[in-house]
Structure 1
Amino acid sequence: MWIRSATILFIVLLITNDFAFAQDTIVQKDSTRLYENIATYSERSGFTKFMFRLFFKPVSPAPAQKILNKRLKQQPYSSFEGKIIRQINIATLDPFGNSIGDTIAASLNFITKTGNKFHVKTHPFTIRNLLLIHQNQPFDSLRVKESERLVRNMSYITDVSFYTVTTPENTDSVDIFIRELDSWSLIPGGSFSASRLSFNLRENNFTGLGHTFQNGIIWNHSTGDIAYRMKYFIPNIRNTYINSTLQYGTDEWGNFIKNFAVGRPFFSPLAKWAAGVNFSQHLRKDTIWSINFMRFKYNAQDYWAGSSIPVF
């Protein structure tokens, strides 16, 4: 059987070579169809498939398919400088089977479908809350690039792309399109030893708001004591980059800490000021000034502020 297949392929090779030398005006699409027919025939057996790969190259994909997968090329931001931002369009994507550079969604298996189903996608207003640019304001390339960096820097985001185009109705206005790809944000953890069992669960994008919600528990199975800790963090309140932290925790010996903090860091070179306040309450058992354990309860406060000054 394989001798017959090899003979047919050899004859086809001779015929195609004769046509290539004898006729220079063969239509390109006919030649492509001939190669496709040979490729189809070669799939009949492993030997013919090997012979086809030995003498032929795969037929190139159609130009239309290449265009579909081609990523749009961004014009230099300098060409948009000073124009009015008309709209900021934001699209958020689930973490599995999506790409910011390809609008065609990939086929998903059961695991990836289930992961996307249990994942809470980031809300568009969560992304908008991170931007240093706004509608009806002049286009500032520095602020656009810094906004892209700030969005990409979030722990719940895998990647993001900004694409700017001039509006067809008014060449003095631009539209900005933002595509953001989520990262899987629910992170479990834990440990086990001869005396303790611990488990913690961290959600980096709580309900799609970009907030961090962390809970942990430790069980001492030799004594039966339980320790618990909780932390809730809001990274950006109403586009001010003022963050807030609420924390509570206990340990196995009855100590606890309560903490509330509000602050604004130097989140960007464009930030001109930073400040913060911190209030906490602690309860500790210690042997200071006594051989027996004593309970110490105290409050702590912290205030700070800073300003950036351009050097050059």
Structure 2
Amino acid sequence: MNQPYPSVYKLTLLHILVGLLLVAGCATRAVAQVPQQDTTLHVKISEGPVDSLTLHHVAVTDSILMQRDSVFYTKLKASMYKHRLTRQLYDAVFQDVYNSRVRTGEVSQLEVNPFKTFEGRIIGDIYIRRLSVFGQTVYDTLRKPANWIERTGNRLHTNTREHVIRNSYLLFQQGDALNPTVLRDNERLLRTTSIFHDARILVLPRPGSKQFVDVYVITQDVWSLLPNGGFGGLTNFSVGFDQVNFRGLGHQLFAQVAYSGTDPRQKLEYQARYKVPFIGKTFLTAEADMLYLRDLKQAAVKLYRPFLTPDMKYAGSIELNRTQVNNRIVTRNEVTRNDTAILVPLTYNYSDVWIGRSFRLFYSRPDTDEKGRSRLVISLRNTSYTYFNRPNVTADTNQLYQNSRTTLFSVGYTRRKYVRDVLIYGFGRTEDVPIGESVAAIAGFDNAELGERLYMGLNFSQGKYVRRIGYLYGLINFGGYIRKNKIEQGIFSFESNYFSPLMKTRWGNMRHFLNTRFTTGINRFDNEYLTLSSSGSGINTDGIGINSDALRGTKRFLINYENILFSRLSLIGFRVAFITFANIGLVSFTNHAFLSGPFYQGYGIGFRLRNENLTFNSFQIRLSYYPNIPGNTIPFRQAVEGIPALRLRDFDLSAPQLVPYR
């Protein structure tokens, strides 16, 4: 969705604000105290058997421990500590930028569920400990803010209220028999929400009792307020904010206004969104959106609940919206090979309702952390498009804009567990890596304006760590409509994602990432096409990082490679990573040989800054080179941009859906 930012200057207000934060030092230092001094955290993870991934985690631990004892940095520190000014400079730039849990040796024990020791005991009191945004961590609650900026930030921020955590974010309550899997799921659930930087759950035996235990829930918020906007003069500017934890309630509020005095179509644009996650103990999330942009006007409401954990039995959603959009389509004259872009005005109502039920499989054997949890999931979905303004629809033209009501049914199998790791997409926060597989079959019918047709689809995905190689994920999709015994709007796609083990270098820790994607359409409608056009770079883009109408076709192959060096540098608490990337893509139409077209290329270098305690996207500066893009007269390009945090693909099954053609 296009944001109403003025495009006159590439340096937006957001980038200026981030720069001011860098200068002002509004960030957290990552120097940990000795863990034994933390009076809150008494529980030591018990020894126990570990799986084949132990060596992987030991390698992470050893590499980071060795860095801290580096002879180079020991000498540098001794030299710079001789003078007050250089000592302050060293403390500001060179810090232990990784979570202190790595120093405690806990990474090598992450796959041992620490709650198993207390399985079956009765949960007595539940204590909520809310840490400040800056200074403390869930592994070192005695750390203090490093400077007045951090102390001021803590005073200005409103922590998530205790009753909100207790009533909306916990999967257990007083009097429950302690289930180690539930507590492990709850830790992961807290970490994956947008309002918490990190979370930890501890279980302590109650003195004098062999039956009761007390549970401590420790959370640390992120800085929740993110201003945004841009300035291109008094006739071209935008201003807004994104508050991800409104008044400590966990609610999310986004608002933005943009003004373009020289645009004759519409001078003022605005958009807003309000989101209420995890209502009560239902884990339902409500969301309302309003957009009033030049080419998109929309009002939408949505109520939904996904399968947040494998043990959740029910999931579903209901969504209603009214949309008015100027849809941009590109047509090609096959004789002249010229492309023409036009705007097609559309107005329609959209509704989407689905419900799903999860069933446990293999009751003869219990769920285990080693094997994961297997579930059978069945779902039913109904979607409807009703158009009020559109171009003329016939059997040969503009079929995309026909009124339709689609009903889909799916049955699938999923098995998943989670392995905790660090330094993948984050800069030191705990990351939960999904391990498992899923397979789903989708069937249904489309009661469309041009006639009823059947739909059939199938998808399979799997992901796991391979010892000494890294993490591998693969996804295969096939689907399409069937009308008069012929496939219509069919698609076959394949996707793979890979990241290497964490490798120690003299400059920091490094990973390699490699993503590949292949998509081909089968008897698609006119004006349906794939594109290599995109923004971003490396694995943060679904194209090659540049926009061009020439990068279109009905078949597409894409390779995204990225190398990330997580350096030891920390600029005023913002952790620094250096990147190199390469994007290579191939695209062609059905009537052309797929491999005959050129491999479009993009290469580049850059660096990213991120503070995990802030809601800001990673701040990236990159230099890119695009040697063979048609019509591109500027092969070298630079960009200053925000990079959202990526998340690993999970194996949860949700609403039955058509295989996306993208």
How far did 1:298 drift? 4.0
Query: Secondary structure of 1:235's partner?
Result: strand
Could you tell me which amino acid in structure 2 is paired with residue 225 of structure 1? K
1:154 Cα deviation from its structure 2 partner: 1.3
Query: Residues of 2 paired with 1:192 and 1:67: CA distance?
Result: 50
Structure 2 contact 145–151 (Cα < 8 Å) conserved: no
Written as runs of structure 1 = structure 2, the 5 A alignment for 1:148-297 is 148-193=187-232, 196-223=236-263, 225-252=267-294, 256-283=297-324
Pick aligned residue for 1:303 from 353, 376, 382: 353
Shift of 1:234: 1.3
TM, length-normalised to structure 1: 0.70
CA drift at 1:130: 1.1
One-letter amino acid of the structure 1 residue matched with residue 37 of structure 2: L
Aligned pairs for 1:66-215 (under 5 A) are: 67-69=36-38, 72=42, 73-75=44-46, 76-128=114-166, 129-193=168-232, 196-215=236-255
Taking a change above 3 Å as real, the CA distance of residues 87 and 295 of structure 1, as seen in their structure-2 partners, is same
Contact 1:130 1:236 in 2 (8 A): yes
Contact kept, 8 Å, 2:121 with 2:213, in 1: the verdict is yes
Deviation at 1:283, TM superposition (A): 4.0
Instruction: For residues 250-279 of structure 1, give each alpha carbon's deviation from its aligned partner in whole angstroms, at most 9, with x where no partner exists.
Output: 0136x6311111111111111122111111
Deviation at 1:222, TM superposition (A): 1.6
Secondary structure of 1:308's aligned partner: strand
What SS is found at the alignment partner of 1:303? strand
Tell which deviates more after alignment, 67-76 or 255-264. 67-76
Render the CA deviation track for 1:68-113: whole Å, top value 9, x for unaligned: 2585314542221111101110011120122222332414422112
CA contact (8 A) 1:241 1:264 kept: yes
Give secondary structure in 2 for the equivalent of 1:104.
coil
Q: Which amino acid aligns with 2:150?
A: T
Q: Per residue, is there more helix in 1 or in 2?
A: 1
Task: Give me the whole-angstrom Cα distance separating, in 2, the residues matched to 1:127 and 1:148.
Answer: 12
List per-residue Cα deviations over 1:217-266 (Å, max 9, x = no partner): 1111324711110001112111211111111110136x631111111111
Does the C-alpha gap of structure 1 residues 257 and 77 become closer, same or farther in structure 2, counting only changes over 3 Å? Answer: same
**Structure 2: distance between partners of 1:66 and 1:117:** 26
What amino acid is the match of 1:117? R
For residues 236 and 45 of structure 2, the distance between their equivalents in structure 1, rounded to whole angstroms, comes to 55
Q: For 1:66 and 1:277, how far apart are their aligned partners in 2?
A: 47
- Asked whether the 8 Å contact 2:119–2:180 carries over to 1, the reply is yes
The amino acid that maps onto 1:101 is Y
**Do the aligned partners of residues 107 and 197 (structure 1) sit closer, same or farther apart at CA in structure 2, a change above 3 Å counting?**
closer
The 1:138–1:281 alpha-carbon spacing in structure 2 relative to 1, beyond 3 Å, is same
**Structure 1 residues 74 and 165, CA, compared in 2 at 3 Å: closer, same or farther?**
farther
Letter matched to residue 299 of structure 2: K
SS in structure 1 opposite 2:279? coil
Measured after TM superposition, the shift of residue 164 of structure 1 is: 0.6
Provide the rounded CA distance (Å) in 1 between the counterparts of 2:129 and 2:35: 24
Shift of residue 119 of structure 1? 0.7
Residue 170 of structure 1 deviates from its aligned partner by 2.2
When residues 107 and 235 of structure 1 are mapped into structure 2, their CA distance, relative to the original with a 3 A threshold, is closer
Q: Is the CA contact (8 Å cut-off) linking 2:171 and 2:182 kept in structure 1?
A: yes
Q: Secondary structure at the match of 2:245?
A: strand
Distance (whole Å) between structure 2 residues aligned to residue 181 and residue 77 of structure 1: 21
Over residues 98-135 of structure 1, what are the superposed CA-to-partner deviations in whole Å (9 max), with x where a residue is unaligned? 22223324144221122112111111122222111111
Match of 1:203, SS state, is: strand
- What is the distance in 2 between the residues matched to 1:98 and 1:139? 28
Q: How far apart are 1:165 and its partner, in Å?
A: 1.1
SS at match of 1:174: strand
Q: In structure 1, what is the Cα distance between the partners aligned to 2:35 and 2:302?
A: 53
Alpha-carbon separation, structure 1, partners of 2:150 and 2:218: 20
Change (3 A) 1:133 1:193: same
Residue 285 of structure 1 contacts residue 295 of structure 1 at CA under 8 Å; is this kept in 2?
A: yes
- Does the aligned pair in 2 maintain the 1:74–1:163 contact within 8 Å? no
Q: Percent identity?
A: 28
What is the CA–CA distance in structure 2 between the aligned matches of 1:231 and 1:115, rounded to whole Å? 25
Number of the residue aligned with 2:4: none
Write out per-residue CA displacement over residues 148-177 of structure 1, whole angstroms, 9 at most, x where no aligned residue.
110111122111121111111422000001
Specify the code of the residue in structure 1 equivalent to 2:197: T
Q: 1:148 to 1:104 in 2, by over 3 A?
A: same
Mapped to 2, the partners of 1:158 and 1:88 lie a distance apart of: 21
User: What's the Cα RMSD here?
Assistant: 2.7
**Structure with a larger share of its residues in strand:** 2
Amino acid at match of 1:184: W
Displacement after TM superposition at 1:284 (Å): 5.2
- Mapped partners of 2:318, 2:311: distance in 1: 22
**Alpha-carbon deviation of 1:304?**
1.2
Find the aligned partners of 2:35 and 2:181 in 1 and give their Cα distance.
33
Query: Post-superposition shift, 1:295?
Result: 8.5
Structure 2 counterpart of 1:12: none
